[in-house]
Structure 1
Amino acid sequence: MMKQITKDWLEAASLDMESAEYLLPNERLTGQVAFHCQQTIEKSLKALIEEKGDRVPKIHSLSKLFDLCSAYLDSSPDETLIIALDSLYIESRYPGEFGLLPEGKPTQKQAQLFYDFANDVYSSVRHHLENKK
């Protein structure tokens, strides 16, 4: 049976995924979509780490989290998308910089790629945890 804290991480990831899906059609909100996609992946990976009994690190780097989870994942993640999502300026003190990539606001195409990637990671982690032996 899955730990309650793992379920809590997955529920938080699910809410971010739902938010990204809701915002995705609006071209003005691609930065917010990117942010919620990054959060979905981060929380999904932290759920996996928690369930495996490891200490969940207080980091936001998807690259580092994927490294910690590599033994539990069935496939290798897209490094290009990880680097892009890791480059988001999430901890900004200025509202205009929320969810920006180094080159500026994500395009609609980038937002869709981030959404698809986040959905794949979330679904894969959830499936792994629900079917663990």
Structure 2
Amino acid sequence: MKFWNEELFFMQNREEVKEWLKKAEADFEGALQLARRRKNPLPDLICFHCQQAAEKYLKAFLVMNEVPFPKTHDLLLLLTLARGFEPRLELYRDLLDLLNPYSIQYRYPGEEATFEEAKNGLKAIKDFRKFVRELFPSELWD
């Protein structure tokens, strides 16, 4: 099943979608690399990069389907916009809800993420990434 108008997509949106996916993959890889550090893996940053990856995967999907979206970090809002094109995205609501606060929660002094939160964030983004990879044509994944 295709979730885009192939002719229109390849003429207009292909490069922008690739850019969103490249940025999402960089955030995903950044979270993984931080988690592999033996000394001070920085759970705050792991959580942040997990949220950012999910956000950018959703935005890539919206661009591919020509859905305008506001400048936002709200994963649940992006999910609402995207699920009309792919209803199975709704199955990931709880996962996105877990990641949603990480865009700002640990970015400033006060609270710090725990290693357990970082571990849960990594599991969430791995599961979400596995699903979203099937939503895009394979040639978009460099």
Question: What TM-score comes out, normalization by structure 2 length?
Answer: 0.74
Higher helix share: 2
* Cα drift, residue 78 of structure 1: 4.5
Residue 107 of structure 2 is aligned with which of 87, 98, 109? 98
Give 1 or 2 for the bigger CA radius of gyration.
2
Matched, 1:86 2:93: no
Does the 8 A contact of 1:14 with 1:40 survive in 2?
yes
Aligned length: 123
* Structure 2 counterparts to residues 2-13 of structure 1, below 5 A: 3-13=14-24
Q: Tell me the residue number matched to 1:54.
A: 67
Letter in 2 for 1:54: V
> 2:66 is paired with a residue of what secondary structure?
coil
Q: Tell me the residue number matched to 2:28.
A: 17
Unaligned runs of 5+ in 1: none
Structure 1 stretches of 4+ moved >2 Å: 25-28, 81-90
Identity of aligned residues (%): 27
CA RMSD of aligned residues (A): 2.5
